[in-house]
Amino acid sequence: MEQTKPFTLINQAVMSYGLDFQSLEIEPVSFTIYGKHGDLHYKILVDERPYSIRLLPKKRYVNSDLSHSTPDLLTKQLRYTDYLRAHGIPFMERVEPSRNGLFTTITDPSGQNWTCCLFHWMDGQHVTANTVHTAARMGTLARRLHDVSLHQHDICFPYIDHTVAYQRWLGDLQRLSISRMPEPVRNFLQEYLNLAQFHLDTARHYKSSSLQPVISTDLNSLNILWNQGQQIVGIVDHEHIGATDRVQDLAWLIKWYARTESIESHTVSGRLAKILLAHYNSPTMLVPEEDPRLAALLWLLGCMNLHFVERTKQLAFDAKNNPGGYEQLQLHLQTYRARGEQLSGLLRN
């Protein structure tokens, strides 16, 4: 994006909230994210008061296999942040638009439409190398979020079953042309796909009352703010609020908060996974028969995600014109196979 465009766009977005201001600045050391869905996030100063502004393109998630953003869904998500704050959960506080509604819309000079969400800025720091302390805090927070969601009946979200997307992505890989692959690579790929199907079948096999829908948000390490006293002081993401079940959500949390080095690292700790579950107080909600489902979901999160699928398809395509590329494909599969064994084994004694 050109240097002048963010300011022009943000100025228009702030004006759409009806704020009367004399000065507007984009923080030089701004927590700015160009999201994978085309979102733009900025820290701004309006008359020296800090805000977080989020600009969502109109076609956000238009090709997503997991969820779609619509004005109705966004309204529910923002209303739910109000509900969380009213129940003592430190979600970022939104700014009310001057007109009816919970957000505004603008059109930039190129004709692209944007949805604007404005929040009061929350100070804090991110922790991406997890410890016993952070895993415990996140387990406690997750339990609070899930339990609080059961007591509200005014906001209804569509239930999200992530295995639907995993099955679709697995089908994409099953349709790959494998006839020209060397036999060892072909066999290894088929074994991987069979293992993925096994975990999918396990993840869909549920009969527990813990599947009562809960409402969750995206609690990855970049959406949680901590203070110097290692207390959670803020949750800063609303775009993924939706209905799921406890086991699906716990699988995501374990994937993030069992990491001991950084959010980019694949090094995980079984001790941290168990501490998170203990502080969630999982024995009161989960039964031993669900452990296979949780382990299967952990495998799928790490080894049948969109990044893995797209990379696998690209390597298979490249190898058609470069026979040496099949070695890269097999190494890629071996790497993820090892990662899957590590993730699904986190819950073992």
Tell whether 141 and 37 lie within a shared domain.
no
Q: In angstroms, rounded to a whole number, what is the distance separating the alpha carbons of residues 178 and 185?
A: 9
**Domain final residue, candidates 120, 141, 165:** 120
**DSSP secondary structure string, 166-184?**
HHHHHHHHHTS--TTS-HH
**DSSP conformational letter for 268:** B
Tell whether 35 and 168 lie within a shared domain.
no
Tell whether 186 and 53 lie within a shared domain.
no
Q: Specify the pLDDT at position 37.
A: 60
Query: 218 by DSSP, 3-state: which?
Result: coil
**Any idea what the CATH number is for the domain that residue 13 is in?**
3.30.200.20
Tell whether 182 and 317 lie within a shared domain.
yes
Tell whether 175 and 204 lie within a shared domain.
yes
- Per-residue pLDDT for the chain (349 aa), expressed as one digit of tens each? 444 468 888 999 999 999 889 999 998 544 444 445 677 889 999 999 999 999 988 766 555 555 567 889 999 999 999 999 999 999 999 999 988 899 999 998 888 899 999 999 999 999 999 999 999 999 999 999 999 999 988 999 999 899 999 999 999 999 998 888 999 999 999 999 999 999 999 998 766 655 678 999 999 999 999 999 999 999 998 988 999 999 999 999 999 999 999 888 889 999 999 999 999 987 777 766 678 899 999 999 999 999 999 999 999 999 988 878 999 999 999 999 999 999 999 988 6
Residue 85 within a domain: yes
Of the chain, the end-to-end C-alpha distance in Å amounts to: 50
Tell whether 173 and 93 lie within a shared domain.
no
Tell whether 110 and 70 lie within a shared domain.
yes
Cβ atoms 114, 106 nearer than 8 A:
yes
E-strand stretches of the chain: 24-26, 33-34, 40-46, 49-57, 104-107, 113-120, 214-216, 224-226, 232-235, 242-244
Cβ atoms 57, 39 nearer than 8 A:
yes
**DSSP secondary structure string, 117-162?**
EEEE----B---S--HHHHHHHHHHHHHHHHHHTT--S----B--H
Residue 125 within a domain: no
Tell whether 216 and 297 lie within a shared domain.
yes
**Any idea what the CATH number is for the domain that residue 227 is in?**
3.90.1200.10
Q: How many domains would you assign to the chain?
A: 2
Q: Within 10 Å of residue 159's Cβ, how many Cβ atoms?
A: 12
Q: Specify the pLDDT at position 206.
A: 66
Cβ atoms 134, 257 nearer than 8 A:
yes
Q: Specify the pLDDT at position 142.
A: 96
Tell whether 302 and 256 lie within a shared domain.
yes
Residue 180 within a domain: yes
**Domain final residue, candidates 100, 120, 140:** 120
Cβ atoms 231, 264 nearer than 8 A:
no
Residue 171 within a domain: yes
Tell whether 29 and 164 lie within a shared domain.
no
Tell whether 155 and 277 lie within a shared domain.
yes
What range defines the domain where residue 61 resides?
Answer: 4-120
Q: Specify the pLDDT at position 30.
A: 46
pTM above 0.85, yes or no: yes
